[in-house]
Structure 1
């Protein structure tokens, strides 16, 4: 009996220490964006000399090759801003979650014509689902222009209803916004709200729709852009680096932030809370760090070393399952932008303000080396210890 009492005390003390320790939640799903290249290059000037040969069109990777490399890199999800049906078909039976986008040009037609929404689904979804794991559709991309906003919510609702019309209820429908266009501030996160008038007129009814349909809020979130806009932000804070000055304190909440990504995520979380929908899942649809920029002198921080450091640190942070100070489960998914570098990066960089974001070269070889497969098991450590402890206790009792 005395042995049983000692065992009970030991069990309670161990259980107390386990439960009092910080427990990480499940790691976020890490995805990648793949933007299909144009079928032909943009027009180029020959300087009036017609004898110069016309450059050949860029080689497009076969859809099967794209699907294979995504699986090899162990990405759990892929975002397709230009959802080519052949590409969707290539992900058949891969268990890779797909996020499809509908272009802004279709917002007005979709808003007034549900039949068009059904037609789009018949081309991009119905032939492949559920063999291709289509999980969500983003209706529009950063549609904040005055000419687009009136059509956004009606288009979203029509796509949602069209999915019901064809008997599909497990694909969620949302839209994507850029952080910089909709959130008032990144610091302090507790002071963030959605910008007006878009907050009250569009985002608030959108959030009610997302809550009613169990869908996620989608946002593009670039610490690089925020760092470039606010030079008082330390570079190390944007790159997840520990350092004497690489932190910011939110005095309203008493939280110390050690990376800019979490600050921006929590700014969105705070904005959702102010709007009355703090529990809606959050998906980061785009994030990344450029390896080069059109103006390399002005943007010296756009370089391969920093890009690789950001991606490695981001992956480690997401895999840790630690979440953010205001949302312990963190983001549900985060998509790295972009899978493949432009076929002609020099030509692409000639565009004003352009950057190279690809993590693969055009020949599909790796530009960086980081491992997506080492998802943290911290979320199961406590439960594993607890199960082991109870097993030992039970075995001991059986042999008393």
Structure 2
């Protein structure tokens, strides 16, 4: 079981820092799905769990504890990433008794009937005003993943975290979105490179060759972690997705292509050029379209299912 300490918002990544309760090791190239709830007319918690099971989805990320949802997960064998909501962070950080009670209420009362794999403490938390952790810097893409680094304030903040993860042999969680890199710099990032459909090598990084942006972004994170003193720290991809509408290059066709190719890439177990053969534990974002999600219109259309439980794409998780 793991504890996620904080999340730092930056582009092209969102990095989530882990403190683990016990030894944690990535052993499977398994694909999970994030289960958000920022929408109306969504299925009941039991229906959601049944939908995960019927589609062979073995891992779930849930962004806040919910007694009904946790009850529905009992005996399901679905492994869970459970977030502590941002609104609770200050109170729990300042009150050890409250923190202990939170763990008892939301973990102890369900574990091990619910297979809680990671406790994520906060989501997209910015620990410092104006603090951005841009692993690939400000240059245009595509650029070599080996240039990835934690610079400036990010370096001083991330260094002790990476040191802890190295000493405890535990992973870092990173959210990877080729979609945002593509729409942010379409003249430099081709659509095939972002969708895993490039016919050949797009970026040559010394001896490393990249045919897709997902691997390049993942390896940029690995390069940054290595430079911060964690050469053996593993990475879990805690979110990755593509919207079906609401923005540039957001379409059902592109989204289905991305999700299908990402699942196949992860299940192949070949790892990334910098970490060949390493399992890439990955969580798709997200289970359902969320019509009340704030921000750009595309944010409402990342679901792989519609709220009526109908699949938007033909995806194979088995």
When the two structures are superposed, what TM-score results if normalisation uses the length of structure 2? Answer: 0.83
Does 2:222 correspond to 1:269? yes
Aligned partner of 1:205 in structure 2 is 160
Does 2:306 correspond to 1:361? yes
CA distance in 2, matches of 1:322, 1:331: 7
Provide closer, same or farther for how the CA distance between residues 28 and 148 of structure 1 changes in structure 2, counting only shifts above 3 A. Answer: farther
Q: CA deviation at 1:132?
A: 0.4
Does 2:122 correspond to 1:140? yes
Aligned partner of 2:282 in structure 1 is 334
Q: Does the CA-based 8 Å contact 1:30-1:75 persist in structure 2?
A: yes
Aligned partner of 1:236 in structure 2 is 192
Aligned partner of 1:313 in structure 2 is 261
Provide closer, same or farther for how the CA distance between residues 27 and 316 of structure 1 changes in structure 2, counting only shifts above 3 A. Answer: farther
Provide closer, same or farther for how the CA distance between residues 184 and 107 of structure 1 changes in structure 2, counting only shifts above 3 A. Answer: farther
Equivalenced residues, count? 288
CA distance in 1, matches of 2:169, 2:28: 20
Aligned partner of 2:11 in structure 1 is none
Q: CA deviation at 1:210?
A: 2.4
Q: CA deviation at 1:194?
A: 1.2
Aligned partner of 1:15 in structure 2 is none
Q: CA deviation at 1:209?
A: 2.5
Of 76, 79, 82, which aligns to 1:100?
Answer: 82
Q: Does the CA-based 8 Å contact 2:243-2:251 persist in structure 1?
A: yes
Aligned partner of 2:106 in structure 1 is 124
Provide closer, same or farther for how the CA distance between residues 286 and 215 of structure 1 changes in structure 2, counting only shifts above 3 A. Answer: same
Q: Which runs of 5+ in 2 are unaligned?
A: 1-25
Q: CA deviation at 1:357?
A: 0.3
Q: CA deviation at 1:212?
A: 3.6
CA-to-partner distance for each residue in 1:248-267, whole Å, 9 max, x for gaps? 111xx321100000000000
Q: CA deviation at 1:350?
A: 8.5
Instruction: Choose between structure 1 and 2 for higher RCO, CA contacts under 8 A separated by at least 6 residues.
Output: 2
Provide closer, same or farther for how the CA distance between residues 34 and 266 of structure 1 changes in structure 2, counting only shifts above 3 A. Answer: same
**Which segment is superposed worse, 253-262 or 140-149?**
140-149
Q: Does the CA-based 8 Å contact 2:83-2:120 persist in structure 1?
A: yes
SS at match of 2:33: strand
Higher share of residues assigned helix: 1
Does 2:201 correspond to 1:256? no
SS at match of 2:108: coil
Does 2:148 correspond to 1:196? no
Provide closer, same or farther for how the CA distance between residues 75 and 148 of structure 1 changes in structure 2, counting only shifts above 3 A. Answer: farther
Q: Does the CA-based 8 Å contact 2:196-2:212 persist in structure 1?
A: yes
Of 100, 106, 111, which aligns to 2:93?
Answer: 111
CA distance in 2, matches of 1:259, 1:273: 21
SS at match of 1:138: strand
When the two structures are superposed, what TM-score results if normalisation uses the length of structure 1? Answer: 0.67
SS at match of 1:241: coil
Provide closer, same or farther for how the CA distance between residues 264 and 330 of structure 1 changes in structure 2, counting only shifts above 3 A. Answer: farther
CA distance in 2, matches of 1:80, 1:60: 14
**Which segment is superposed worse, 59-68 or 311-320?**
59-68
Q: CA deviation at 1:96?
A: 1.1
Higher share of residues assigned strand: 2
